[in-house]
Chains A and B, each alone.
Chain A
Amino acid sequence: MEKYKISDSQLVSLYKNGNEEAFEQLLTRHKSRVFTTIYLIVKDNYVAEDLLQETFVKVVRTIKEGRYNEEGKFLPWLMRIAHNMAIDYFRKEKRYPTIIMEDGSHVFTTLEFSEDSIESKQVRQDTHAKLRELIQELPESQKEVLMMRHYMEMSFQEIAENTGVSINTALGRMRYALINLRKKMKQFNIAYDQNIYPK
């Protein structure tokens, strides 16, 4: 977990007192984590952006209406809203979305890769997009644990409680997820290099 000078809880307090900059900091701090979690469930960039917006609208309303529970932690609460939004989307749609390939053109525009060549930027974007695609292809139980631990920052204990398995099972699923991804990324990188630099 990243360490910040001002905690989420302090920012929420400031926001409750009308400090909009505190909310901006909270949003900046967590936007990628929330967006990635939603995206990995719905697999569609536009739907993910809509749901990201709905998630934060709920956050804003709950805090401004004074209904935010001070005892809970902000991040798990935020991630729970995002996760539920994405799952509800499935239920409403009653379908599993088709996989949409990304062109990656605007995804990384806010990141700074100023010293990189266009080619290395493209390689990096392709690699990241491929990794997200591979996460979506993982068996559901592995994908669930990986998302919960890595992007939602739940502990293995919390994951075990939420998914009704032992900690060892949760850890085992995480291990297989990481091993599978590593193996597939290695294969992808070899194939990618051969495509870009044919012998």
Chain B
Amino acid sequence: MTKTFTQNDVIRYVYHETSAKETKEIEKALLCDAKLEEIYKEVLSMKADLNKAKKVPSDKVINSILNYSKSLNLPSNK
């Protein structure tokens, strides 16, 4: 029998926070529960959008950080 899963379970699954056993069960449930599959697709799509919406800092600020690091010669506790 297929176990019932909630929307919260789907979110944990999408964010890779389910155990190996749960992952298998959710994947099985996704095949036979259209509503769950729809939620899964929505969450997955939103996750991808959030990744694409990441901002990229300017090259100027990145170069400035790299130059700072190169210029700093401190004795470290290796």
Q: State the A residues within 8 Å of B (CB).
A: 1, 16-17, 20, 23-24, 27-28, 31-33, 35-36, 39, 45, 48-49, 52-53, 56-57, 60-61, 63-67, 106-111, 124, 128, 131-132, 135, 146, 149-151, 155-156, 168, 171-172, 174-175, 178-179, 181-182, 185
Contacts and interface: CB of A to CB of B under 8 A. Distances in A.
25 contacts: A20-B69, A27-B65, A28-B62, A31-B62, A35-B56, A45-B55, A48-B55, A52-B61, A53-B68, A56-B69, A60-B65, A60-B72, A63-B76, A64-B76, A66-B76, A108-B56, A111-B56, A131-B49, A132-B53, A151-B54, A156-B12, A156-B17, A181-B50, A182-B45, A182-B46
Given A49-B61, A64-B74, A111-B56, 19 more contacts: A17-B78, A20-B70, A23-B66, A31-B56, A31-B57, A32-B56, A35-B56, A39-B55, A48-B55, A63-B76, A107-B55, A150-B47, A156-B12, A171-B11, A172-B8, A178-B11, A178-B43, A181-B50, A182-B46
Interface in B7-56: 7-8, 11-12, 15-17, 42-43, 45-47, 49-50, 52-56
A60 B64 CA distance: 12
A168 B8 contact: yes
Contacts of B15: 149, 156
Interface residues of B, number: 37
A63 to B, nearest CB: 7
A48 B55 CA distance: 10
A141 to B, nearest CB: 16
B10 to A, nearest CB: 9
B54 to A, nearest CB: 4
B58 interface: yes
Given A60-B69, A178-B11, A155 B54 contact: no
Contacts of A28: 62
B77 interface: yes
Given A31-B57, A107-B55, A171 B8 contact: yes
Contacts of A179: 42
Contacts of A168: 8
Identify the interface centre among A128, A146, A150, A178: most chain B CB within 10 Å of its CB.
A178
A110 B68 contact: no
Nearest to A156: B17
Contact of A49 (B11, B52, B57): B57
Contact of A65 (B45, B46, B53, B74): B74
B55 A35 contact: yes
Nearest to A131: B53
